[in-house]
Chains A and B, each alone.
Chain A
Amino acid sequence: MPWVELPHTADAGLEITASSVEDLVTEAARAFYAFMFGEVSLVRSVEEHTVELECMDLLELFVSWLNELLYIYDTKEKVFSPETIEVDSKRARLLAKGNLHIAPSPARAVKAVTYGGAEVSEGPPWRLRVYLDL
């Protein structure tokens, strides 16, 4: 399993591992959705969608990526499945193109992805740790 849930007194952490920075983007999304919804089986693609981020550094990029997924769910009740991912690590830029799918019923509420205790370490293996405000 490329991710584990980390204990936290009030909230919860996710630690995700991948072989490349692009895979870490994909696996981080999978882990986040698995935490929110349990098992996610993507049904009925409803529209194409693009996420474009430009950040100060990779940590901000990953936290922003997961918060963007939360925003998409909160406003559209959809999950985003990226088909292509381009990451410019040096300039902390992300371009993800893919499809939105109808979201399943959430098992747990996430308010936000925080910077508290967050870390990204360059690889391989690439590793991301974030804590979620629940």
Chain B
Amino acid sequence: MGLKQIDPVRWVLERDFKIGMKVTGLIYGDSYIIQNLEKEGALTQIANVACLPGILKHSFAMPDVHWGYGFPIGGVAAFSLNEGIISPGGVGYDISCGVRVMLTFIEEKEVASCIDELTAALFSRVPSGVGSKGALKISETELLSVLAKGALWAVKKGYGRSEDLECIEERGTLPHANPDAVSKKAIERGKPQLGTLGSGNHFLEIQVIDEIYDENVARQFGLNPGQVTVMIHCGSRGLGHQVCDDYIKVMLRAMNKYGINVPDRQLCCAPLKSEEAKQYLGAMQAAANYALANREIIGHLVREVFGDFFPKSDLKLLYDVSHNMAHIEKHGVEGKQADVCVHRKGATRAFPPGHPSLPERYRQVGQPVIIPGSMGTESYILVGTKRGMEECFASTCHGAGRVLSRKAAMKSEKADTILKRLEDRGIKVMAETIGTVREEIPEAYKDVSRVVDVVEKAGISRKVARLRPLAVIKG
């Protein structure tokens, strides 16, 4: 009963694992990943998601899967628009948390000569830390405009460039955002935080491309060995957290109304056809627009700092993609193309070559997929594949995935030792709080290279390039 390996990187969680499972679980992993998975509660969470009404194909778990709340982190589930549901717990509190990579035209040796000063300047210019406030002072009316227009708002206000927009998912604006569905409380939390990195696992990193795996795709993406890049990881801050909290209350009441039972209250949901679902989708998209604007503004601040150090240089956006979202997308289900609602919680959308949503420049090769490693380890650029589109609703992993609790990580090493160890490897770290450095030690995460190898072996995305960190800014 339970878990059955069907090929070197695929495991099926049988329906007899838990009463009420409507579909099987499909987990991507090698023996190392499955061993870690079996130690914690993620299997039960994969099974719980499989119990939700209208779920299609499988309850998927990417190789960075780990115990979350409601959905596991690394979970993907798609639902029929007619019989299915939408669940705020399947998106998470940090709505549209995501990553962007910006390409410089600078080589490692040029940055190495001023890395301390450059890192300090970025740390000073980009607000970070718990409850950090942005450099932007905006009115409530302006914030409503952010919620409606996303990154486009930032570009129009001079905090970004119009050419960035085509390299942001959904062209930088979620079109069905409904600012009126966002509560006053959420607006109050979001207003002072626009343009801030936040804390926890969010970061800003200066990196260098140290290996190319696919020269053709790398050329199309504009990636070259030795080229310096900047990666930004953050989300919708307190505004997104409040939207999720508000709509969990709405969904708890909707479940009574529609007679839905779920095995974990955090999975509370409403039928996709219901008014409650429509309201949540509008609020969630508005929060996602906030996140897209947030990353565009931070990208603008990064450009300003790099401009001070390298006046002739420029930073071009490779791609910006969320890994906590629910999207209505067209996919093949039972031999037909249909609109479905894909929840990705700690998983990345990965469209294949030829997908109509991709910008012209990437349409021939597929979508750039950004996989951040843990602090002090490599990150990867992948590309979406046809198999990923057909098998798992165009989804792949989103990072390394934790293996060690924060409490255990805090006990393992002193901050000074961690910083020295990373410095010896040529990685400069600046953090708002020492606790974050200790919680985010590289050993708290799985080996990102093994995670990425699994998605490549499974054929659901492909490696294009590896990025090595030079400097890390943590909140």
Contact = CB atoms under 8 A, between A and B. Distances in A.
B69 A75 contact: no
Interface in B2-32: none
B189 A71 contact: yes
Interface stretch (B155-163, B280-288, B403-411, B413-421): B403-411
A114 B40 CA distance: 18
Nearest to A134: B200
A56 B242 contact: no
A52 interface: no
Interface in A53-70: 56, 59-60, 64, 67, 70
Contact of B131 (A8, A106, A133): A106
B185 interface: yes
A107 interface: yes
Contacts, number: 104
Interface residues of B, number: 45
A73 interface: yes
Contact of A74 (B131, B265, B435, B475): B131
A59 B131 contact: no
B249 interface: yes
A95 interface: no
Interface string B49-87: 000000000000000001111100100000000000000
Contact of B402 (A9, A59, A73, A115): A9
Contacts of A106: 130-131, 433
Contact of B265 (A9, A59, A111): A59
A115 B475 contact: no
Nearest to B73: A10
A109 B189 contact: no
Contacts of A107: 433, 435
Interface in B187-228: 188-189, 198-200
A118 B475 CA distance: 28
Interface of B: 40-42, 66-70, 73, 89, 92-94, 130-131, 185, 188-189, 198-200, 238, 241-242, 244-245, 248-249, 252-253, 264-266, 268, 402-408, 433, 435, 439, 475
- Going nearest first, the 9 A-B pairs with the smallest beta carbon separation are A116-B69, A109-B199, A116-B266, A115-B265, A114-B69, A109-B130, A106-B130, A7-B405, A112-B93
Interface of A: 5, 7-12, 56, 59-60, 64, 67, 70-71, 73-75, 77, 106-109, 111-112, 114-118, 131, 133-134
